[in-house]
Amino acid sequence: MGDVILEHVTKRYADITAVDDMNLDIRDGEFVTLVGPSGCGKSTTLETIAGLTIPSEGQITIAGDDVTTKPPKDRDIAMVFQNIALFPHMDVHDNMSFGLRLRDFDSEEIDRRVERAAEILQIEELVDRMPDELSGGQRQRVAIGRAIVREPLANLDAKLRVHMRTELQRLHKELDTTIVYVTHDQAEAMTMSDRIAVMNEGHLQQIAPPLVCYDEPANLFVAGFIGSPSMNLVEGQVESGQIRTQGFDVDFDPGQVPELAAGDDVTVGVRPEDVYPAETASELANPTRRIRARTDVLEPMGDEIFVYLVLRGEDASGAQAATTDTAAARGSDELLMSVEPDSDLAGDEDIEVVLDRRKIHVFDTETGDAVCHDILRSEAMGGEPAGPAGGS
Protein backbone atom coordinates (compact mmCIF):
# COMPACT_ATOMS: atom_id res chain seq x y z
CA MET A 1 0.00 0.00 0.00
CA GLY A 2 1.01 3.60 -0.33
CA ASP A 3 0.66 6.41 2.14
CA VAL A 4 -2.12 6.32 4.69
CA ILE A 5 -3.73 9.52 5.88
CA LEU A 6 -6.23 9.77 8.70
CA GLU A 7 -7.97 13.10 9.06
CA HIS A 8 -10.12 13.90 12.09
CA VAL A 9 -11.03 10.24 12.46
CA THR A 10 -13.44 9.71 15.34
CA LYS A 11 -15.14 6.47 16.35
CA ARG A 12 -17.97 6.66 18.83
CA TYR A 13 -19.80 3.70 20.27
CA ALA A 14 -23.01 3.95 22.26
CA ASP A 15 -21.31 4.85 25.50
CA ILE A 16 -17.67 5.56 24.72
CA THR A 17 -15.54 7.39 22.22
CA ALA A 18 -12.87 4.90 21.23
CA VAL A 19 -10.90 7.22 18.95
CA ASP A 20 -11.21 11.00 19.14
CA ASP A 21 -10.15 13.30 16.33
CA MET A 22 -7.20 11.24 15.18
CA ASN A 23 -4.87 12.77 12.62
CA LEU A 24 -2.17 10.53 11.26
CA ASP A 25 -0.02 10.81 8.19
CA ILE A 26 1.80 7.58 7.39
CA ARG A 27 4.19 7.85 4.48
CA ASP A 28 4.62 5.27 1.76
CA GLY A 29 6.92 2.49 2.92
CA GLU A 30 6.98 3.61 6.51
CA PHE A 31 6.81 1.31 9.54
CA VAL A 32 4.55 3.01 12.07
CA THR A 33 3.62 1.48 15.41
CA LEU A 34 0.50 2.43 17.30
CA VAL A 35 1.27 1.98 20.95
CA GLY A 36 -0.64 2.66 24.14
CA PRO A 37 -2.23 0.96 27.11
CA SER A 38 -5.15 -1.38 26.45
CA GLY A 39 -8.32 0.49 25.63
CA CYS A 40 -6.46 3.49 24.24
CA GLY A 41 -8.05 3.16 20.80
CA LYS A 42 -5.06 1.78 18.91
CA SER A 43 -6.89 -1.33 17.73
CA THR A 44 -9.94 0.67 16.72
CA THR A 45 -7.68 2.98 14.74
CA LEU A 46 -6.18 0.00 12.95
CA GLU A 47 -9.65 -1.39 12.26
CA THR A 48 -10.71 1.88 10.66
CA ILE A 49 -7.64 1.73 8.42
CA ALA A 50 -8.43 -1.89 7.52
CA GLY A 51 -12.09 -1.13 6.94
CA LEU A 52 -13.40 -3.47 9.60
CA THR A 53 -14.81 -0.45 11.41
CA ILE A 54 -16.32 2.57 9.72
CA PRO A 55 -15.39 5.76 11.57
CA SER A 56 -18.18 7.97 12.90
CA GLU A 57 -16.42 11.03 11.51
CA GLY A 58 -13.34 11.86 9.51
CA GLN A 59 -11.68 10.65 6.40
CA ILE A 60 -9.19 7.91 5.62
CA THR A 61 -7.08 8.00 2.49
CA ILE A 62 -4.90 5.15 1.27
CA ALA A 63 -2.57 5.91 -1.65
CA GLY A 64 -4.58 8.99 -2.52
CA ASP A 65 -7.84 7.08 -2.58
CA ASP A 66 -10.62 7.99 -0.17
CA VAL A 67 -11.49 4.65 1.43
CA THR A 68 -13.39 5.88 4.47
CA THR A 69 -16.49 3.79 3.80
CA LYS A 70 -15.03 1.19 1.44
CA PRO A 71 -15.16 -2.45 2.52
CA PRO A 72 -11.82 -4.08 3.42
CA LYS A 73 -11.64 -6.02 0.16
CA ASP A 74 -11.40 -2.82 -1.88
CA ARG A 75 -8.50 -1.37 0.11
CA ASP A 76 -5.58 -3.55 -1.03
CA ILE A 77 -4.33 -4.20 2.46
CA ALA A 78 -3.20 -7.23 4.37
CA MET A 79 -3.40 -7.80 8.08
CA VAL A 80 -1.80 -10.12 10.60
CA PHE A 81 -4.13 -10.48 13.54
CA GLN A 82 -3.03 -10.39 17.14
CA ASN A 83 -4.79 -13.71 17.73
CA ILE A 84 -3.38 -15.05 14.43
CA ALA A 85 -6.88 -15.94 13.10
CA LEU A 86 -5.92 -18.77 10.77
CA PHE A 87 -8.94 -20.53 9.29
CA PRO A 88 -9.07 -23.77 11.27
CA HIS A 89 -10.84 -25.69 8.50
CA MET A 90 -8.15 -25.07 5.88
CA ASP A 91 -4.59 -26.35 5.65
CA VAL A 92 -1.63 -23.99 5.52
CA HIS A 93 -1.63 -23.82 1.73
CA ASP A 94 -5.33 -22.94 1.60
CA ASN A 95 -4.94 -20.43 4.40
CA MET A 96 -2.12 -18.63 2.63
CA SER A 97 -3.83 -18.70 -0.75
CA PHE A 98 -7.25 -17.60 0.54
CA GLY A 99 -6.93 -14.04 -0.73
CA LEU A 100 -5.41 -15.14 -4.04
CA ARG A 101 -8.24 -17.58 -4.68
CA LEU A 102 -10.79 -14.85 -3.95
CA ARG A 103 -9.05 -12.72 -6.55
CA ASP A 104 -9.23 -15.49 -9.16
CA PHE A 105 -5.53 -16.07 -9.58
CA ASP A 106 -4.86 -19.18 -11.64
CA SER A 107 -3.75 -22.20 -9.68
CA GLU A 108 -0.19 -22.23 -11.01
CA GLU A 109 0.40 -18.65 -9.93
CA ILE A 110 -1.15 -19.40 -6.55
CA ASP A 111 1.13 -22.41 -6.05
CA ARG A 112 4.18 -20.45 -7.09
CA ARG A 113 3.47 -17.59 -4.71
CA VAL A 114 2.59 -19.83 -1.79
CA GLU A 115 5.75 -21.85 -2.36
CA ARG A 116 7.84 -18.70 -2.48
CA ALA A 117 6.32 -17.28 0.69
CA ALA A 118 6.66 -20.61 2.46
CA GLU A 119 10.32 -20.71 1.45
CA ILE A 120 10.96 -17.22 2.78
CA LEU A 121 9.23 -17.98 6.05
CA GLN A 122 10.88 -21.42 6.20
CA ILE A 123 7.61 -23.32 6.49
CA GLU A 124 7.84 -25.31 3.23
CA GLU A 125 7.34 -28.62 4.98
CA LEU A 126 4.20 -27.40 6.74
CA VAL A 127 2.01 -26.47 3.79
CA ASP A 128 -0.16 -29.58 4.07
CA ARG A 129 -0.72 -29.28 7.79
CA MET A 130 -3.84 -28.02 9.49
CA PRO A 131 -3.47 -24.99 11.80
CA ASP A 132 -4.13 -27.03 14.94
CA GLU A 133 -1.07 -29.14 14.13
CA LEU A 134 1.25 -26.13 14.25
CA SER A 135 3.13 -24.49 17.10
CA GLY A 136 2.45 -20.89 18.04
CA GLY A 137 5.47 -19.59 16.15
CA GLN A 138 4.61 -21.59 13.05
CA ARG A 139 1.08 -20.20 13.12
CA GLN A 140 2.49 -16.69 13.25
CA ARG A 141 4.61 -17.42 10.20
CA VAL A 142 1.62 -18.77 8.31
CA ALA A 143 -0.34 -15.65 9.27
CA ILE A 144 2.49 -13.48 7.95
CA GLY A 145 2.61 -15.67 4.87
CA ARG A 146 -1.09 -15.12 4.28
CA ALA A 147 -0.50 -11.40 4.47
CA ILE A 148 2.47 -11.28 2.10
CA VAL A 149 1.49 -13.68 -0.70
CA ARG A 150 -0.43 -10.93 -2.43
CA GLU A 151 2.81 -8.99 -2.87
CA PRO A 152 5.32 -9.94 -5.50
CA LEU A 153 8.05 -11.61 -3.49
CA ALA A 154 10.74 -12.08 -6.09
CA ASN A 155 13.38 -9.91 -4.44
CA LEU A 156 13.10 -11.30 -0.95
CA ASP A 157 15.96 -13.11 0.70
CA ALA A 158 15.08 -16.31 2.45
CA LYS A 159 16.96 -15.44 5.58
CA LEU A 160 14.30 -14.92 8.19
CA ARG A 161 15.10 -15.50 11.78
CA VAL A 162 13.22 -16.94 14.67
CA HIS A 163 11.60 -13.93 16.24
CA MET A 164 8.50 -12.28 14.94
CA ARG A 165 9.95 -8.83 15.60
CA THR A 166 13.02 -9.48 13.55
CA GLU A 167 10.98 -11.15 10.84
CA LEU A 168 8.67 -8.21 10.57
CA GLN A 169 11.48 -5.68 10.46
CA ARG A 170 13.28 -7.71 7.86
CA LEU A 171 10.13 -8.19 5.79
CA HIS A 172 9.46 -4.49 5.97
CA LYS A 173 12.91 -3.72 4.73
CA GLU A 174 12.65 -6.15 1.84
CA LEU A 175 9.03 -5.62 0.87
CA ASP A 176 9.34 -1.85 1.02
CA THR A 177 5.69 -1.65 1.97
CA THR A 178 3.84 0.47 4.46
CA ILE A 179 3.31 -1.35 7.74
CA VAL A 180 1.13 -0.25 10.63
CA TYR A 181 1.82 -2.28 13.75
CA VAL A 182 -0.22 -2.26 16.93
CA THR A 183 1.18 -3.20 20.32
CA HIS A 184 0.82 -2.34 23.98
CA ASP A 185 4.51 -3.08 24.50
CA GLN A 186 6.52 0.12 24.34
CA ALA A 187 9.79 -1.79 23.99
CA GLU A 188 8.46 -3.50 20.85
CA ALA A 189 7.37 -0.15 19.49
CA MET A 190 10.76 1.43 20.22
CA THR A 191 12.79 -1.27 18.53
CA MET A 192 10.80 -1.87 15.36
CA SER A 193 9.41 1.37 14.08
CA ASP A 194 10.36 4.26 11.90
CA ARG A 195 7.91 6.29 13.90
CA ILE A 196 5.70 5.45 16.83
CA ALA A 197 2.26 6.90 17.49
CA VAL A 198 1.56 6.97 21.21
CA MET A 199 -2.14 6.89 22.03
CA ASN A 200 -4.08 7.24 25.23
CA GLU A 201 -7.83 7.34 25.85
CA GLY A 202 -8.60 7.70 22.18
CA HIS A 203 -6.24 10.61 21.63
CA LEU A 204 -3.00 10.69 19.72
CA GLN A 205 -0.36 11.88 22.18
CA GLN A 206 2.68 12.06 19.96
CA ILE A 207 3.87 10.67 16.67
CA ALA A 208 7.61 10.77 16.20
CA PRO A 209 10.66 8.57 15.69
CA PRO A 210 11.25 6.35 18.74
CA LEU A 211 14.21 8.32 20.09
CA VAL A 212 12.37 11.60 19.79
CA CYS A 213 9.52 10.16 21.83
CA TYR A 214 12.13 9.05 24.33
CA ASP A 215 14.21 12.20 24.47
CA GLU A 216 11.53 14.78 23.90
CA PRO A 217 8.20 13.38 25.04
CA ALA A 218 5.40 15.72 24.06
CA ASN A 219 3.54 15.38 27.34
CA LEU A 220 3.43 13.66 30.70
CA PHE A 221 1.69 10.56 29.32
CA VAL A 222 4.35 9.89 26.70
CA ALA A 223 7.07 10.61 29.26
CA GLY A 224 5.64 8.04 31.63
CA PHE A 225 4.75 5.45 28.98
CA ILE A 226 7.87 5.33 26.84
CA GLY A 227 10.95 3.94 28.49
CA SER A 228 11.38 1.23 31.05
CA PRO A 229 11.67 1.83 33.93
CA SER A 230 9.54 4.95 33.68
CA MET A 231 10.76 8.48 33.95
CA ASN A 232 10.78 9.99 37.44
CA LEU A 233 8.02 12.60 37.55
CA VAL A 234 7.95 15.05 40.44
CA GLU A 235 5.49 17.90 40.91
CA GLY A 236 6.78 21.32 41.85
CA GLN A 237 6.56 25.02 41.30
CA VAL A 238 8.67 27.52 39.40
CA GLU A 239 10.22 30.26 41.50
CA SER A 240 12.63 32.87 40.31
CA GLY A 241 15.67 31.01 39.06
CA GLN A 242 14.69 27.65 40.42
CA ILE A 243 12.11 24.91 40.32
CA ARG A 244 11.17 23.87 43.81
CA THR A 245 9.78 20.43 44.55
CA GLN A 246 9.19 18.69 47.85
CA GLY A 247 12.32 16.65 47.54
CA PHE A 248 14.80 18.92 45.80
CA ASP A 249 15.31 22.21 44.03
CA VAL A 250 16.73 22.72 40.56
CA ASP A 251 18.14 26.07 39.65
CA PHE A 252 18.24 27.55 36.18
CA ASP A 253 19.02 30.82 34.50
CA PRO A 254 15.68 32.53 33.76
CA GLY A 255 17.25 34.34 30.84
CA GLN A 256 18.04 31.08 29.08
CA VAL A 257 14.76 29.29 29.68
CA PRO A 258 12.08 31.94 29.16
CA GLU A 259 9.32 29.30 29.01
CA LEU A 260 9.55 28.88 32.76
CA ALA A 261 7.67 31.71 34.47
CA ALA A 262 7.67 32.11 38.21
CA GLY A 263 4.51 30.77 39.81
CA ASP A 264 3.85 28.04 37.24
CA ASP A 265 2.90 24.61 38.52
CA VAL A 266 5.20 22.21 36.72
CA THR A 267 6.19 18.57 36.81
CA VAL A 268 9.87 17.78 36.57
CA GLY A 269 10.77 14.61 34.71
CA VAL A 270 14.14 12.93 34.75
CA ARG A 271 15.00 9.47 33.52
CA PRO A 272 16.74 7.04 35.90
CA GLU A 273 19.89 7.05 33.78
CA ASP A 274 20.14 10.84 34.12
CA VAL A 275 20.42 10.65 37.90
CA TYR A 276 24.05 10.30 39.07
CA PRO A 277 25.74 9.75 42.39
CA ALA A 278 27.45 13.00 43.37
CA GLU A 279 30.94 11.50 43.21
CA THR A 280 30.58 10.88 39.49
CA ALA A 281 29.27 14.39 38.92
CA SER A 282 32.61 15.40 37.48
CA GLU A 283 31.71 13.43 34.35
CA LEU A 284 28.81 15.77 33.80
CA ALA A 285 29.19 19.09 32.11
CA ASN A 286 26.15 20.52 33.76
CA PRO A 287 25.16 18.85 37.00
CA THR A 288 22.53 20.29 39.27
CA ARG A 289 23.18 21.08 42.86
CA ARG A 290 23.57 18.07 45.11
CA ILE A 291 20.44 16.38 46.37
CA ARG A 292 20.55 14.48 49.61
CA ALA A 293 18.98 11.09 49.49
CA ARG A 294 18.92 7.74 51.22
CA THR A 295 19.13 4.53 49.23
CA ASP A 296 16.21 2.21 49.78
CA VAL A 297 16.04 -0.88 47.56
CA LEU A 298 18.62 -1.97 44.98
CA GLU A 299 17.66 -4.00 41.92
CA PRO A 300 20.73 -5.41 40.15
CA MET A 301 19.81 -6.05 36.51
CA GLY A 302 23.21 -7.28 35.37
CA ASP A 303 24.10 -4.48 33.03
CA GLU A 304 22.92 -1.84 35.47
CA ILE A 305 21.55 -1.44 38.97
CA PHE A 306 18.32 0.35 39.73
CA VAL A 307 18.51 2.22 43.02
CA TYR A 308 15.36 3.49 44.70
CA LEU A 309 16.16 6.72 46.49
CA VAL A 310 14.19 8.40 49.26
CA LEU A 311 14.92 12.10 49.18
CA ARG A 312 15.78 13.66 52.46
CA GLY A 313 13.97 16.82 51.60
CA GLU A 314 16.82 19.36 51.68
CA ASP A 315 19.10 20.71 49.12
CA ALA A 316 22.63 19.94 50.09
CA SER A 317 23.59 23.57 49.84
CA GLY A 318 20.10 24.79 50.62
CA ALA A 319 19.29 26.97 53.53
CA GLN A 320 15.85 25.70 54.13
CA ALA A 321 15.06 22.15 55.20
CA ALA A 322 11.73 20.60 54.43
CA THR A 323 10.87 17.69 56.67
CA THR A 324 10.69 14.31 55.04
CA ASP A 325 7.28 13.80 56.59
CA THR A 326 5.58 16.39 54.45
CA ALA A 327 7.44 15.11 51.44
CA ALA A 328 6.22 11.60 52.10
CA ALA A 329 2.69 12.91 52.27
CA ARG A 330 3.06 14.24 48.74
CA GLY A 331 4.35 10.91 47.55
CA SER A 332 6.89 12.61 45.36
CA ASP A 333 9.96 12.11 47.46
CA GLU A 334 11.25 9.11 45.59
CA LEU A 335 13.65 8.95 42.69
CA LEU A 336 14.79 5.97 40.71
CA MET A 337 18.44 6.02 39.75
CA SER A 338 20.29 3.73 37.37
CA VAL A 339 23.98 3.21 38.12
CA GLU A 340 26.83 1.17 36.68
CA PRO A 341 26.90 -2.49 37.77
CA ASP A 342 30.25 -2.03 39.49
CA SER A 343 28.85 0.55 41.86
CA ASP A 344 29.46 -0.17 45.53
CA LEU A 345 26.22 1.38 46.75
CA ALA A 346 24.34 -0.45 49.46
CA GLY A 347 20.86 -0.15 50.87
CA ASP A 348 20.03 2.34 53.66
CA GLU A 349 22.96 4.54 52.91
CA ASP A 350 22.93 8.34 52.96
CA ILE A 351 24.27 9.66 49.68
CA GLU A 352 24.06 12.69 47.47
CA VAL A 353 22.95 12.65 43.87
CA VAL A 354 22.91 15.11 41.00
CA LEU A 355 20.75 15.37 37.88
CA ASP A 356 21.90 16.06 34.35
CA ARG A 357 20.48 19.49 33.63
CA ARG A 358 20.49 18.80 29.94
CA LYS A 359 18.12 15.88 30.44
CA ILE A 360 15.62 17.51 32.75
CA HIS A 361 12.15 17.63 31.24
CA VAL A 362 9.62 20.13 32.47
CA PHE A 363 5.89 19.68 31.92
CA ASP A 364 2.95 21.92 32.67
CA THR A 365 1.28 20.06 35.55
CA GLU A 366 -2.22 21.19 34.59
CA THR A 367 -2.21 20.43 30.85
CA GLY A 368 0.53 17.82 30.90
CA ASP A 369 2.21 19.36 27.86
CA ALA A 370 5.96 19.56 27.69
CA VAL A 371 7.44 23.00 28.44
CA CYS A 372 11.08 22.26 27.75
CA HIS A 373 13.43 19.28 27.58
CA ASP A 374 16.47 20.84 29.19
CA ILE A 375 17.06 23.79 31.44
CA LEU A 376 20.36 24.83 29.93
CA ARG A 377 19.32 26.36 26.68
CA SER A 378 22.45 28.35 25.74
CA GLU A 379 24.77 25.38 26.14
CA ALA A 380 22.35 23.14 24.29
CA MET A 381 22.15 25.52 21.41
CA GLY A 382 25.89 25.74 21.28
CA GLY A 383 26.19 21.98 21.24
CA GLU A 384 23.56 20.00 19.47
CA PRO A 385 20.25 21.39 18.31
CA ALA A 386 17.45 20.50 20.66
CA GLY A 387 14.72 20.91 18.09
CA PRO A 388 12.67 18.09 16.64
CA ALA A 389 15.07 17.80 13.72
CA GLY A 390 17.50 15.90 15.93
CA GLY A 391 16.62 12.67 17.57
CA SER A 392 16.41 10.05 14.86
Partner 1 sequence: MATETADEERRSGADGGDDDGLIAQRAREAIRNPGDAYQFLFYVVTAFFLVTTLFPFYWLLVLALTPGDRMTDIGLLPNGFNPASFVEMFQRLPFHVYMFNSIVIALTTTVIVLLVASFAGYAFGRLQFRGKTALLLVLLAISYFPPAAFIIPLFQFFTGNVEILTLPAVGTISSPNWFNTPGAMVTPFSALFLPLSIFILTTFYSQIPDGLEDAARVEGATRIGALFRVIIPLSAPGVATAGVLTFIGVYNEFFISFLMTDGQAQNWAPIVWGVVNYQGQYQAFYNLMAAASIVGVLPVVILVVIAQERIVSGLTAGALKE
Rounded to the nearest 10 degrees, the angle between the axes of helix 164-175 and helix 136-148 is 10
Q: Judged by CB, which is closer to partner 1: 103, or 161?
A: 103
**Binding residue for partner 1, selected from 7, 57, 70, 130, defined by CB under 8 A:** 130
Q: Judged by CB, which is closer to partner 1: 77, or 226?
A: 77
Q: Is 73 exposed, middle or buried (0-12, 13-18, 19+ CB in 10 A)?
A: exposed
Min dist CB 134 to partner 1, Å, is 12
Does residue 151 interact with partner 1 by CB under 8 A?
A: no
Does residue 298 interact with partner 1 by CB under 8 A?
A: no
Cα separations in angstroms, 133 against 115, 118, 120, 129, 210:
19, 16, 20, 6, 38
Strand segments (E) across 301-341: 305-315, 334-339
**Binding residue for partner 1, selected from 35, 77, 226, 351, defined by CB under 8 A:** 77
**Binding residue for partner 1, selected from 21, 63, 85, 201, defined by CB under 8 A:** 85
**Binding residue for partner 1, selected from 30, 39, 79, 119, defined by CB under 8 A:** 79
Binding mask 95-124 for partner 1 (x = CB under 8 A): ---xx--xx---------------------
Taking the alpha carbons at both ends of the chain, their separation in whole angstroms is 24
Does residue 175 interact with partner 1 by CB under 8 A?
A: no
Helix then strand then coil, % of the chain, to nearest 5: 30, 30, 40
Does residue 72 interact with partner 1 by CB under 8 A?
A: yes
> Which of these segments, 2-10, 84-92, 117-125, 151-159, binds partner 1 (CB under 8 A)?
84-92
Residues 6+ apart with CB under 8 A from 117: 96, 145, 148, 149, 153
How many residues bind partner 1, per CB under 8 A?
A: 27
What is the C-alpha separation between 165 and 80, in angstroms, rounded? Answer: 13
Binding mask 31-60 for partner 1 (x = CB under 8 A): ----------------x--xxx--------
What is the C-alpha separation between 89 and 226, in angstroms, rounded? Answer: 41
Q: How many CB atoms lie within 10 A of CB 93?
A: 19
**Binding residue for partner 1, selected from 63, 90, 298, 316, defined by CB under 8 A:** 90
Binding residues vs partner 1 (CB under 8 A): 47, 50-52, 71-73, 77-79, 81, 83-90, 94, 98-99, 102-103, 130, 132, 146
